[in-house]
């Protein structure tokens, strides 16, 4: 990669070449489409953004950014692990547990304030 490479353009090229819709990518990364467009327009991006997109689209960015990544960072195990984390994060199970915990906490607070 040359020093004058435009990071956003390289990302956009990889995403478009994979044929992944921007809506699908935005949902996968839990950002809005405007954020994706802003990234594409940015001449420089943080490594973690490039890495997250690489995992999301199953693309090895060590080719475009050898100074930041190695190809083993984008191995199929890493992609699978990222997808498992995303699936867990999408689960509403943790939300139900959190709400139940908050309700119990409020009950304890109510009981304690009634005693005072």
pLDDT tens for the 116 residues of the chain, in order = 445 789 999 999 999 999 989 999 999 899 999 999 999 999 999 999 999 999 999 999 998 999 999 888 887 665 544 554 444 445 556 667 777 777 888 888 888 888 87
Residues in the chain: 116
Q: Which fold has domain 7-74?
A: 434 Repressor (Amino-terminal Domain) (1.10.260)
What does the pLDDT read at residue 38?
95
**Confidence at residue 8, expressed as pLDDT on a 0 to 100 scale:** 95
Confirm if 59 and 14 have CB atoms less than 8 A apart: yes
**What are the C-alpha distances in Å from 76 to residues 22, 34, 63, 81, 116?**
22, 29, 16, 8, 58
The pLDDT, as a whole number, for residue 103 is 82
**pLDDT for the residue numbered 37:** 95
Q: Quick one: pLDDT at residue 3?
A: 57
Q: Which two tokens stand for residue 81?
A: 């692990």
Which structure tokens are listed for 80?
């699978």
Structure tokens of 82?
């990222």
CA 36, CA 44: separation in Å to the nearest integer? 14
């Amino acid at each position: 990669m040359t020093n004058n490479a435009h990071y956003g353009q390289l990302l956009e090229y990889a995403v478009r070449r994979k044929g992944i819709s921007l809506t699908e990518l935005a949902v996968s990364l839990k950002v809005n489409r405007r954020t994706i467009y802003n990234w594409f327009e940015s001449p420089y991006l943080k490594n973690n953004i490039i890495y997250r997109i690489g995992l999301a689209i199953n693309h090895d960015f060590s080719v475009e950014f050898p100074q930041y990544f190695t190809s083993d960072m984008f191995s199929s195990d890493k992609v699978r692990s990222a997808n498992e984390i995303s699936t867990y994060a999408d689960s509403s199970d943790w939300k139900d547990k959190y709400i139940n915990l908050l309700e119990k906490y409020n009950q304890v607070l109510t009981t304690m304030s009634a005693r005072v």
